[in-house]
Amino acid sequence: MRRRWNLCAILLSLIFLVHPLRGDDPRPSATANAYVYAITTCIGGEGGPGVRLFLKQSSQRQGRTSYPYLRIDIREQPILAQKNIAIGGDNSAIRCLGARQSCDQAISGNILFDHFEDFSGKEVKTDGYYELKFRTGRTEGGLFKLDGMAPCS
């Protein structure tokens, strides 16, 4: 009887150890590896002027695209500190995990720039917060820091 109990306890321990390793997506959630580094570019086109914010897990600025990243297009103008910017309508966001994978469109979310500091007269530094919900049901959220946002005209 005691032997059966020990065997049962060992099997249950193994199940609890292995279970967290299972899942539909073998990669850790991007929230666990937050997208904390941000760069911007100006965008134009049919939707009008705006700012494209790239959020990355690495601060490396390479010539080629580095994965994974979040891309947030903000067409709502003006962009103000402490103003909640909703994703949807004119503002959009995608998550791209790799070059050989399709990007996932955000269905809703928010982004907020905490403050804007102009140190050079040409570039603005800020930090902020994002929270995005994707079609797959996953959410990504966290803090980011942006050094050098040039104004778009």
Q: DSSP states of 119-141 as a string?
A: SSSS-EEEEEEEEEEETTS-EEE
Q: Are 40 and 50 in contact (CB under 8 A)?
A: no
What's the token pair of residue 116? 């804007």
How many other C-beta atoms can be found within 10 angstroms of the C-beta atom of residue 108? 13
Q: Pick from 88, 48, 41: which is nearest to 69 by CA?
A: 41
Its pTM stands at: 0.71
Domain locations in the chain as residue ranges: 28-149
The model's confidence at residue 32, banded by pLDDT at 50, 70 and 90, is low
Conformational region of residue 133, where left means phi above 0, alpha means psi within -120 to 50, and beta covers everything else: beta
Tell me the per-residue pLDDT of 70-115, one tens digit each, with 9 for 90 and over.
999 999 888 888 999 999 989 999 999 998 999 999 999 999 998 8
Residue 109 near residue 132 (C-beta atoms within 8 A): yes
Using DSSP's 3-state secondary structure scheme, residue 98 falls into coil
Mean pLDDT, the chain, integer: 77
pLDDT in tens, 106-142: 999 999 998 877 756 666 778 899 999 998 889 999 9
pLDDT of 62? 55
